[in-house]
Every structure is written in C-alpha cells, then in structure tokens.
Amino acid sequence: MADSVYKVIELIGTSKDSWEKAAAVAVTRAGKSLRELRVAEVVQLDLQLDAKGKVEAYRAKLKVSFKFEGCRSDQIHRHGRACPGHPRLLRYSKGRGCPGIGERKRRRPSDG
C-alpha cells in the first residue's frame, strides 16, 4: 500500500428525528463536496431544546476523515490560477490564494 495522508474535519449534523439521522445528514452532505471519505466517528451527541425544554433537534458531532491530495501542478483553483510554486502562476494577492497557502506574489519572467 502506498503512503497516504488523511485530513480530519469536524462536522455537526442535525435532525428533528434522531441522532442516527443527524449523523447520516452530516456524512451525506460531506460526501457531496469531499472525495474519498474514509471514516466518520461520532464524538458527541446532544439535543437542542426550546424554551419549554422540548426537543427541537438531535445533533451529532462527527470527526470525518478523507484522503488529502494536495495540489497538482495541473490543477486550477476557483480563482482561475494555478497553485503557488507552479509555473503557470501569475499573481496572488491577500485572500485570493489556495486555502492554507497564505499570501504570495510571483510574476512571469516576461512581466519584468
């Protein structure tokens, strides 16, 4: 098996019916935007109550892991530019870079 890296995030799912459904809601939603989900661990269950103490919602807090792929040299992100360090990068300004990369600015050699 090749070496792999996995990222773990925390999610909270809610349901008016049960904790099981609340957990399923969180995993289903995560599966729509994340690839290669690996493990979902329920770490906390709680209830949301109304002013009279009646149960309004069941909440399930989960830790979900998925395979971390990082950036590929051919990958273009939502801002339309390649990741820092790749030859196709034109410019980055604060808040426009890839998540977790920070602020970087680079220019093509032809830009002077």
Token digits of residue 75: 């990958």
The reported pLDDT for the residue numbered 71 is: 61
| Domain 6-67 class in CATH | alpha beta
Residue 70, by phi and psi: left (phi above 0), alpha (psi -120 to 50) or beta?
Answer: left
CA separation for the pair 38, 66 (Å, rounded): 5
Q: Which of 70, 67, 78, 104 is nearest to 89 (CA)?
A: 104
How confident is the model at residue 69, as a pLDDT?
Answer: 74
In the chain, CATH 3.30.1660.10 sits at 6-67
- Cα–Cα distance between 84 and 62 in angstroms, integer? 32
Q: pLDDT band at residue 50, thresholds of 50, 70 and 90?
A: very high
Cβ neighbours of residue 32 closer than 8 Å, sequence gap 6 or more: none
Please report the pLDDT score of residue 55 as a whole number.
96
Tens of pLDDT, residues 53-101: 999 999 999 999 998 876 655 555 555 555 554 444 344 444 444 444 4
Q: What is the mean pLDDT of the chain?
A: 76
The Cα 29–Cα 12 span in angstroms is: 11
pLDDT at 5: 85
Alpha-carbon distance of 38 to 12, in angstroms, equals 17
For the entire predicted model, the pTM comes to 0.59
Please give the residue that has the higher pLDDT: either 46 or 77: 46
DSSP reduced 3-state for 35: coil
Residue 10 has a pLDDT of: 96
pLDDT at 65: 93
